[in-house]
Amino acid sequence: MKKLENKVAVITGATSGMALATAKLFVAEGAYVFITGRRQKELDEAVESIGSNVTGVLADSANLTDLDRLMETVKSEKGHIDVVFASAGTADFAPLGQVTEEAFDKMFDLNAKGTFFTIQKALPLLRDKASIIMTGTIATIKGMPSLSAYGASKAGLRVFARAWTNELKLRGIRVNVLSPGPIETAVFKGNEDVKAHMASQIPLGRIGQPDEIATTALFLASNDSSFITGSEICVDGGMAQI
């Protein structure tokens, strides 16, 4: 039996990279997936690449009206949610002296506020024993230059996971944070020197692949992780661990 047979999953920000790889794997493992993106062209391409058992919803996770529309779509088409993966996020790489107010607000609006209200809006549709997954970052663990605002915007997710684990424990809903290290996504396109430098900082000697995030998300979404909640799993090749 497939690990997500007959499950309904919502994955935000899933038009590329790690979240798109996760959506594809979830469908392959039996789930029906709702994905979001902020650009219609990329959203349509992602839906086409997934192929079946998927609905694309144009939505910005920082916009509460968009989140309401997303959940109304899920409610009308499927009526419930078994897995919500709040993956939509953004990063602006800049040292302390160069971070603009606009960039700061953009990161906190999407990474912190957007994640919080994605879960809040999904809550009425979540079945008992559902799984909530949030995309964190190892930048909350390591003092990474030029990532102070980004790391701070993600640090709250760890607090969310702990608090919500207590709030939702009577329903058996599990809440966890999946924190990637450097992963082969568009951010490294044309930046081979940066990629090589990052790889040199990782004990396993390479940056990760989107599929390695997807398989970890599958673990957290499925019954394989039935005794894991309130936790953070770092998928970082050991970068933040030693």
Residues with active-site annotation? 150
Collapsing DSSP states into helix, strand and coil, what is residue 208? strand
Please enumerate in sequence order all residues whose Cβ is within 8 A of that of 184, keeping only pairs 6 or more positions apart, or say none. 195, 207, 208, 209, 210
CA nearest 81: which of 91, 71, 90?
71
Please state, in angstroms and rounded to a whole number, the distance separating the CA atoms of residues 118 and 88: 10
Q: Specify the DSSP class assigned to residue 146.
A: T
Q: Which two tokens stand for residue 214?
A: 């997807």
**What's the CA gap between 92 and 168, in Å, rounded?**
33
Can you read off the two tokens belonging to residue 189?
């396109």
| Structure tokens that stand for 160 in this block | 């969310």
* Token representation of residue 210: 């989107």
3-state secondary structure of 127: strand
Strand partners, 235: 180
CA 139 → CA 43, 108, 187, distances in Å? 28, 14, 15
Joined together, the tokens standing for residue 156 give: 């709250």
